[in-house]
Amino acid sequence: MAVKIRLARCGRKNAPIYRLVAIDSRRKRDGEFIENLGTYNPVTGALVQFHKDRVDYWISQGAIETDAARKLYKQYAKQQPA
pLDDT of residue 36: 94
pLDDT of residue 4: 93
pLDDT of residue 30: 80
Are 4 and 28 within 8 A, CB to CB? no
pLDDT of residue 78: 86
Q: Note the maximum CA span of the chain.
A: 38
Q: Report how far residue 62's alpha carbon sits from residue 15's, in angstroms, rounded to the nearest whole number.
A: 33
Res 80 pLDDT > 80: no
> 22-71, pLDDT tens digit by residue?
998 888 888 888 999 999 999 998 888 999 999 999 999 999 999 999 99
Sort strands 3-12 and 64-65 into parallel, antiparallel or unpaired.
parallel
